[in-house]
């Protein structure tokens, strides 16, 4: 496994370009960067009224804002990650090789539905509380770990104990922006690791960090996606503007 901290160097190497940013939207659930394509990142869940840079981001370049990914300010890191994904994802051929995943009525759970036959009876840890996960509690031994735990969730320090014992780990790609990714992939090194969510960067090199599967999204309707995010949409984006795709990185050639 590569040094997990090196993921930030990798992502910024791919984002060092002068593409001009046309729009940044920080919605209730998703942050969107619009350039020649679209990049997404989950928005911070703590509202704030004092963003000093609001109104200054349009017409800056990806190279200007992508380094914010390293920031410990959650809003800057979120904008940085969305910019990174806007640089990488619209130009990646990787999702074109992937399996489209849909699930009528609960498209945000399509990844879990796909893997369910392999997960029954297994020790499974999920980083991030995905709406609707409770339906799987009788199907597998499931541990949900959350930075802001709700009823039935484990707090983030539980990762130190639960992930090394897990056979499967589903890791939200928002962990890259909030800086928990390096430690979590170390803890999950003996598990089958799925990096998932609209924040996923479509890079085959993530296999070098121990990721076995990428379950990211492709944009199917840019205008509807923008509107849904601007109107506060969460899982609704799976019904209007994005589609899950699954790529097995163990069957993918890594180009440097």
47-74: pLDDT as tens digits: 899 999 999 999 999 999 999 999 999 9
Last residue of a domain, one of 33, 58, 91: 91
Domain identity same for 117 and 139 = yes
In a domain, 256, yes or no: no
Domain identity same for 169 and 225 = yes
User: 2 pLDDT exceeds 80?
Assistant: no
Give pTM, 2 decimals. 0.94
**CATH code for the domain in which residue 163 is found:** 3.40.50.11590
Nearest alpha-carbon partner for 32 in 78, 101, 72: 78
Distance CA 224, CA 46 (A): 25
In a domain, 19, yes or no: yes
In a domain, 42, yes or no: yes
CB 159 within 8 A of CB 150: no
Domain identity same for 231 and 220 = yes
Query: Which residues partner with 243 through β-bridges?
Result: 218
**CATH code for the domain in which residue 26 is found:** 3.30.390.100
Average pLDDT over residues 29-57: 95
What integer pLDDT is reported at residue 255 of this predicted model?
58
- Of residues 134 and 200, the one with the higher pLDDT is 200
What integer pLDDT is reported at residue 105 of this predicted model?
67
pLDDT in tens, 182-219: 999 999 999 999 999 999 999 999 999 999 999 999 99
Last residue of a domain, one of 39, 71, 91: 91
Domain identity same for 50 and 128 = no
Average pLDDT over residues 244-254: 87
CB 15 within 8 A of CB 62: yes
Domain identity same for 76 and 197 = no
Domain identity same for 138 and 216 = yes
User: 106 pLDDT exceeds 80?
Assistant: no
Q: What is the three-class DSSP state of 154?
A: strand
What integer pLDDT is reported at residue 256 of this predicted model?
47
Domain identity same for 124 and 169 = yes
What integer pLDDT is reported at residue 39 of this predicted model?
98
Distance CA 187, CA 4 (A): 11
- What is the count of structural domains for the chain? 2
Last residue of a domain, one of 70, 91, 112: 91
φ and ψ of 244, to 5 deg: -70, 140
State the chain's mean pLDDT as an integer.
93
Domain identity same for 32 and 59 = yes
What integer pLDDT is reported at residue 57 of this predicted model?
98
pLDDT in tens, 166-182: 999 999 999 999 999 99
User: 111 pLDDT exceeds 60?
Assistant: yes
Which residue segment(s) compose the domain that 84 sits in? 4-91
In a domain, 163, yes or no: yes
- Give me the long-range contacts of 146-154 (CB less than 8 A, separation at least 24): 147/178, 147/180, 148/45, 153/129
């Amino acid at each position: 496994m590569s040094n997990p901290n090196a993921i930030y160097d990798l992502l910024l190497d791919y984002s060092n370009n002068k593409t001009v940013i046309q729009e940044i939207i920080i919605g209730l659930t998703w942050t969107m960067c619009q350039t020649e394509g679209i990049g997404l990142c989950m928005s911070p869940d703590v509202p704030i009224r004092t963003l000093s840079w609001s109104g200054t981001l349009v017409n800056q370049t990806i190279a200007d804002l992508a380094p914010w990914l390293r920031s410990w300010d959650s809003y800057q890191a979120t904008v940085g990650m969305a910019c990174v994904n806007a640089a990488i994802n619209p130009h990646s051929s990787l999702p074109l090789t992937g399996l489209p995943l849909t699930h009528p009525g609960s498209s945000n759970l399509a990844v879990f539905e796909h893997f369910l036959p392999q997960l029954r009876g297994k020790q499974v840890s999920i980083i991030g509380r995905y709406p609707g996960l409770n339906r799987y509690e009788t199907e597998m031994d499931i541990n949900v770990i959350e930075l802001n735990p709700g009823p039935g969730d484990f707090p983030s320090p539980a990762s130190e104990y639960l992930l090394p014992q897990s056979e499967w780990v589903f890791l939200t790609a928002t962990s890259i922006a909030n800086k928990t990714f390096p430690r979590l992939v170390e803890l999950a090194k003996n598990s089958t690791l799925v990096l998932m969510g609209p924040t996923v960067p479509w890079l085959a090199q993530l296999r070098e960090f121990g990721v076995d599967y990428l379950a990211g999204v492709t944009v199917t309707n840019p205008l509807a996606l923008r509107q849904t995010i601007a109107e506060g949409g969460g899982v609704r984006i799976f019904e209007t503007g994005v589609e899950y795709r699954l790529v097995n990185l163990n069957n993918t050639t890594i180009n440097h």
